[in-house]
Structure 1
């Protein structure tokens, strides 16, 4: 039909040949086509390096439908490669730092078209390093030995991609990392022991930038450690049921026989394939107070020695304090296995206290002083006989020594007696009046031979006087040694 008005008549006839008609008019107007609308927005902002980006023109419209799309790079640095440029959605590759403009052209069935532009800005990366947050300081009190360190509060502008927890070199080696959590945001630790742990958290972002932070875990000792008792029984740990445990607790309470006291089991674990260790403490009250482990152990030993061997539900292999509580007098350390003191150099146990008094292991004696004391005692023991011998000999000499008395020998005349008489008395006798012929009773024995020798000489030579001079006054020199 062409442009204009068209009139059509309809006539109908029935079986009696009766007829009726109607007229309808059709107006054909000239074509009214509107051009399409191209839509490619919104603009994009990318961070270099970037491999590709999509250009979407699927939201373009037309009253009769779009039959053709076309994308082209009209401005920007470098050579940009276009993938599927004649589709509603195209892809641009090889974008460089700078501002890129892309033009989209859409065409409808009547050949009408429309264009639009899309801006893609590629900026140089401005990456900030991540910020690690390990969780700070934590305090843990035994017997609670598990903790979780949360590093999920670490931040980064592009997101953290990896976590790593590293234990400090001065931290205790004991303690387990649960389920490989040292490579996750939250570190889970179990079986920690008394001491100070340090863990360093390292976080890394997508560009390789990293940061570290340190968390500290202080594990404090059990406040009941002085009351913990270790009981080792001959039973497989799997055979110690809850009912048997309750029976065993009642038996221990009966053995201790302490009024208003309760036996509290703190830990049950395998000691070997055929033995089980039970750690417990005894609490009395009110007011509540934990009894000392040493007193409980001593009481149990004493009571078990009185009862039958099978008084308890299982055979007892060992009863001791759970920890080594000895202070070792500050000169050693306590062995946690033998529960005895290992003394430092130059120190030793006080044997009197260890085996006679309270029986507690210690390091009270200095080896230097013990050695000095031992040498002194040995010296006294070895020198006593010599001292007694010396005293006895000195006493004998004192008894023998008497007052000096002189006796004139026989067969002497008056002249000789006058010559032998002391001029100045006994105490101040002169050398010329002192002769071996005049002796004291105390010197008689020692000088007897000399007297007899001189006497024989005088009898053989009458000219010689007893005092060593000639009778006529001539001098005489004796060759013998004078006393």
Structure 2
């Protein structure tokens, strides 16, 4: 209907066709419509970082009802993103530090509209640096070689976004980080060895602020270390069953003459692909005292030599102390693999102690002292030998030479030639009488005679009887001249 006056007539008729009429006037006037009112609520003040915020225009009113909503960003950083802009409630994301103004427009069914503005201010937060808490000092007693360092007690006003565990450069390199936990709140470590470990925890918040704290792990030796015995068997670690392990324990108890309950197996681990290491100790059941590993090892060596090779369930490859217990005389360190001493420079093993005593490796001898002692012994030996030789020579010169005779019977020509006097002297009788024996004293006297005649010839050439003797004329000495 349009605005105006309307007249409507009503006619009624009965059964005998009697009628009656009546009129009604309807006046249609223009309505009194009010425009809508847009309402956005109070302005907002947010702290960065903030992910999103809500723009609420649902409290806008109109006497006839609102049929249209629209949100838009009229000022502020343009990187902002808006969702549901044509609804009463919209969402704004990707806010940055700065001031924003959002405008809401509402309309009724007659097109009357209204607008309102909402101010959103994003401020820089007052960030406090985080506080790291690594867990302090821990004491670990072997054979337990695993531990977890809890850094989850670290705090920050806006929340911690990253954890980082770092091993100190002076800490032992042994020990494994499992499950990548060095980037998590809780650090999990295993396979630690004896020593002092230091780990630094660094925590960082969303603003890049960080803090560092330190945790210390002191791994102490096993109190049963001196009693641990390592038995190497020729069997794969995966092939050794629990039942076979119990049988081995009973067999060892028989060898050591103890109860099987006194043998405590500490661990079983692979030694190689085909061998298994069983580490155990023997405990005295009466006073709960651990027997020294060296004593147990020596007893097993003796007993295994007495018994057959197949006395134990598997072949024994080696029996030794699990830890190297040698002191090395303070001049070396013990090799944990070979169980022998590695001496420092200028030190060596005492060979007498090693091979003639108990066979225990050591570092007792100084190489300098050994060298000096060996040199002194060599000089003394040489001097003694030289003295003996000199004494023997003196004795020989004082002893008178014995007269030696040679029987010239039954000798060949070669031997005769060898037995003739030296210096060209011919013995006439040897050529005619083979039974004549000539002594060395005679040869000496012949030589003296030759030298004396030559002297007389030089001094008194005129006194020589039976002819003259001149230089260059050979002199023949015969038996008649004697």
| TM-score of the superposed pair, with normalisation by structure 2 | 0.67
Q: 1:334 to 1:50 in 2, by over 3 A?
A: closer
Q: 1:264 to 1:71 in 2, by over 3 A?
A: same
Partner Cα distance (1:222, 1:201) in 2: 28
Q: 1:37 to 1:352 in 2, by over 3 A?
A: same
> 85-94 or 129-138: which moved more?
85-94
User: What's the counterpart of residue 238 of structure 1?
Assistant: 238
Offset, 1:335: 1.2
> 84-93 or 200-209: which moved more?
84-93
Structure 1 residue 109 corresponds to structure 2 residue 113:
no
User: What's the counterpart of residue 146 of structure 1?
Assistant: 146
User: What's the counterpart of residue 428 of structure 2?
Assistant: none
How do 1:2-81 residues align onto structure 2 when only pairs under 5 Å count? Answer: 38-47=38-47, 54-62=54-62, 64-71=64-71
User: What's the counterpart of residue 338 of structure 2?
Assistant: 338
Q: 1:58 to 1:328 in 2, by over 3 A?
A: same
**Is the partner of 2:304 in helix, strand or coil?**
helix
**Is the partner of 1:179 in helix, strand or coil?**
coil
8 Å CA contact 2:196–2:218 kept in 1: the answer is yes
Offset, 1:157: 3.0
Q: 1:109 to 1:334 in 2, by over 3 A?
A: same
How do 1:290-309 residues align onto structure 2 when only pairs under 5 Å count? Answer: 290-309=290-309
**Is the partner of 1:123 in helix, strand or coil?**
strand
> 44-53 or 54-63: which moved more?
44-53
Q: 1:12 to 1:293 in 2, by over 3 A?
A: farther
**Is the partner of 1:162 in helix, strand or coil?**
strand
How do 1:166-205 residues align onto structure 2 when only pairs under 5 Å count? Answer: 166-205=166-205
Partner Cα distance (2:288, 2:12) in 1: 118
**Is the partner of 1:319 in helix, strand or coil?**
strand
Q: 1:96 to 1:339 in 2, by over 3 A?
A: closer
**Is the partner of 2:69 in helix, strand or coil?**
strand
Q: 1:104 to 1:363 in 2, by over 3 A?
A: same
1:155-210 superposed Cα distances (whole Å, 9 cap, x missing partner)? 33332222222222222222222122222222211211112222222333333333
Offset, 1:128: 3.1
**Is the partner of 2:199 in helix, strand or coil?**
strand
Q: 1:281 to 1:96 in 2, by over 3 A?
A: closer
> 194-203 or 301-310: which moved more?
194-203
Structure 1 residue 354 corresponds to structure 2 residue 354:
yes
User: What's the counterpart of residue 371 of structure 2?
Assistant: 371
Offset, 1:111: 6.0
1:89-133 superposed Cα distances (whole Å, 9 cap, x missing partner)? 456689775554545343433666666543312213433333332
Partner Cα distance (1:268, 1:29) in 2: 104
**Is the partner of 1:128 in helix, strand or coil?**
coil
Q: 1:50 to 1:145 in 2, by over 3 A?
A: closer
8 Å CA contact 1:80–1:93 kept in 2: the answer is no
8 Å CA contact 1:52–1:91 kept in 2: the answer is yes
> 55-64 or 329-338: which moved more?
55-64
**Is the partner of 1:299 in helix, strand or coil?**
helix
Partner Cα distance (2:78, 2:236) in 1: 78
Q: 1:8 to 1:227 in 2, by over 3 A?
A: farther
Offset, 1:154: 2.5
1:26-64 superposed Cα distances (whole Å, 9 cap, x missing partner)? x99997878756442353223457797552313435564
1:422-461 superposed Cα distances (whole Å, 9 cap, x missing partner)? xxxxxxxxxxxxxxxxxxxxxxxxxxxxxxxxxxxxxxxx
User: What's the counterpart of residue 218 of structure 1?
Assistant: 218
User: What's the counterpart of residue 229 of structure 1?
Assistant: 229
Structure 1 residue 208 corresponds to structure 2 residue 216:
no
8 Å CA contact 1:283–1:291 kept in 2: the answer is yes
8 Å CA contact 1:162–1:204 kept in 2: the answer is yes
8 Å CA contact 2:77–2:98 kept in 1: the answer is no
Offset, 1:268: 0.8
Offset, 1:138: 1.8
Structure 1 residue 289 corresponds to structure 2 residue 272:
no
**Is the partner of 2:296 in helix, strand or coil?**
helix
1:461-480 superposed Cα distances (whole Å, 9 cap, x missing partner)? xxxxxxxxxxxxxxxxxxxx
> 248-257 or 124-133: which moved more?
124-133
Partner Cα distance (1:272, 1:248) in 2: 19
Q: 1:82 to 1:342 in 2, by over 3 A?
A: closer
Q: 1:360 to 1:303 in 2, by over 3 A?
A: same
Q: 1:204 to 1:80 in 2, by over 3 A?
A: closer
**Is the partner of 2:180 in helix, strand or coil?**
helix
> 287-296 or 64-73: which moved more?
64-73
Q: 1:95 to 1:148 in 2, by over 3 A?
A: closer
User: What's the counterpart of residue 134 of structure 2?
Assistant: 134
Offset, 1:226: 0.7
8 Å CA contact 2:250–2:260 kept in 1: the answer is no
**Is the partner of 2:238 in helix, strand or coil?**
helix
User: What's the counterpart of residue 121 of structure 2?
Assistant: 121
In structure 1, the gaps of 5 or more residues are: 18-24, 394-483
Partner Cα distance (1:80, 1:320) in 2: 74
In structure 2, the gaps of 5 or more residues are: 17-23, 394-482
